[in-house]
Structure 1
Amino acid sequence: MRRLTVAMGLLVAGAAGVGIGLSRPSDRASCRFDFPVGPPDGAGFYDAQPFGANHHLGNDWARQGGGNTLGLFAFAAADGVVTDAQDYGGGWGNVVRVLHTCGDRVESLYAHLDRMYVTKGARVVRGQPL
């Protein structure tokens, strides 16, 4: 049994350095994020490997009740531009990175993908298969 795992990390960096969050209330309101699986609310999935557990750098989403999720889509969590889409091999496999159009620098990363449906430079919208 293989499960779809989507490692999603949100990276936030300000122009002068790394920040810890969105700095202006208008930025928070202008960018809506959905879950990368089962949009918009992650229905039918659970976080099988939470961020930080066992030094893990993302969240791994698996189907409720188990079952093979190989081939299911991972979806863009918000609108943005694909900054990277390639096979990193090893534990990461196919990886897509999206820079979101939210004001401050917010980026999401999707790893362990069976296939990629986007290429570097592509514009994506929230809910689009990656």
Structure 2
Amino acid sequence: MEEDDQEMQLLSYSTTPHPLPWPGRSASVDLQLSISVGGPSVEALKWEAAEQIRLAAVEKAYAEHVMELTRREMEVAQSEFLRARGLWERAREEVQRAQKMRERASVMEITCLSCRHKFRPN
């Protein structure tokens, strides 16, 4: 209901003819004077605009906070990824060493078995 009254007041202010500016007085001064005549409705609009600005500032601060948290989480994730990559590389090297040792062991076993057959008496 209060909004309707404010709209009606604004409409009545905007539809009433304003006198032409006096010589030496600018149109912006007339505008400022006509707005200051608005009284409570203009104050309500100013308060609403200030509230919207305050809410926007709060939302901006929250978004910046979330962005900072996200940046930190990405840094931690990158660090963990690099650590995991290093562990994977070392594990792969260990597997390769183990495979080489197994190949050498199987060659030695074959050699030993063949030697046994050579030197085993029949």
TM-score (structure 2 length as normaliser): 0.15
Instruction: Choose between structure 1 and 2 for higher RCO, CA contacts under 8 A separated by at least 6 residues.
Output: 1
Where is the strand percentage greater, Structure 1 or Structure 2?
Answer: 1
* TM-score under structure 1 length normalisation: 0.14
